[in-house]
Amino acid sequence: MNLILRYKLNTNDYLQQVLYYNSINEESIKQRSKVWLFVIAFIIFFSVLLLFLFNDKIEFGHYLGAIPVAILSILFFPYFYKNILKKRFLKLVQKNYKNNFGKESVLSFHEEYVEIHDFTGESKVTYTSLEKIIEIKTHFFLILKAGAYIILPKSEIQDADSVKNTLDTIAAENEVLYSEELNWKW
């Protein structure tokens, strides 16, 4: 097994990794749920407050008109909140990884390890230190037990099927979880 990949990472590659991580991270999921519940509680509290404060000054028809607006706000909030988070994560990626964009990385897959060469230096990662290999529609993510990610953009790989087969073999031979999540979306 001697596969060599040359590729460059861009803003979107890092963004997809951050979005994927936050979509599966339990703390992030809990945080998004808490924000959604807070918005629901705020809308209900504000509606009841207005009802009691302005009960005799507002016609009943205004309350009926406000109910669909409140329901739509509650239903569509997760969609808008995800877009807000995506913009925040994009700013985070642009700030924290700006020196990494467009720099060539070389991955060499060997029998027992993957060798990584990039502008920061070189390192060897044994396959036993891999926790999981994730395949989404646009990327492969190699997740290390230490928590770091190796990002492989499919758009930069000439033969993605060969890479997939290599990663399948690595996963099978080293008892690493291989997860194919081609329908994943942020």
Q: What is the pLDDT of residues 79-111, one digit of tens each?
A: 999 999 999 999 999 999 999 999 999 999 999
Q: Which amino acid is at 71?
A: I
- Residue 116: φ, ψ to 5°: -115, 125
Pairing of the two strands 139-144 and 104-109: unpaired
Pairing of strands 149-153, 139-144: antiparallel
User: Where would I find the H helices in 25-159?
Assistant: 26-53, 60-96
Could you tell me the residue range of the domain that residue 88 belongs to? 16-96
Within a 13 Å sphere around the CA of 154, how many CA atoms are in the beta-carbon half? Answer: 14
Q: Is residue 186 part of a domain?
A: no
Instruction: Compute the average pLDDT of residues 47-54.
Output: 75
Whether 169 is in a domain gets the answer yes
115-124 pLDDT, tens digit per residue, is: 999 999 999 9
Same domain membership, residue 123 and residue 85: no
Q: 42 with 109, same domain?
A: no
Indicate if 68 and 56 belong to the same structural domain. Answer: yes
How much is the pLDDT for 48?
Answer: 78
- 53 has pLDDT over 80: no
With contact defined as beta carbons under 8 Å apart, do 9 and 103 qualify? yes
Tell me whether residue 126 is in a domain.
yes
- The answer on 108 and 68 residing in a single domain is no
Q: What is the DSSP string of 33-71?
A: HHHHHHHHHHHHHHHHHHHHHSTTTS-HHHHHHHHHHHH
Same domain, 22 and 58: yes
What confidence score (pLDDT) does residue 138 get? 97
Provide the mean pLDDT of the chain: 91
C-alpha 177, offset from chain centre: 18
The reply to whether 51 and 105 lie within a common domain is no
What φ, ψ does residue 100 adopt, rounded to 5°? -95, -15
CATH code, domain carrying 146 = 2.30.29.30
Give CA separation, 52 vs 56, 58, 103, 167, in Å: 9, 10, 61, 62
Counted domains in the chain = 2
Confidence at residue 185, expressed as pLDDT on a 0 to 100 scale: 92
137 and 70 in a common domain: no
User: What is the distance between the alpha carbons of residues 156 and 9, in angstroms, rounded to a whole number?
Assistant: 8
Is the pLDDT at 144 greater than 80, yes or no?
Answer: yes
Tens digits of residue pLDDT in 10-47 = 999 999 999 999 999 999 999 999 999 998 898 888 87
Can you give the pLDDT at residue 49?
Answer: 80
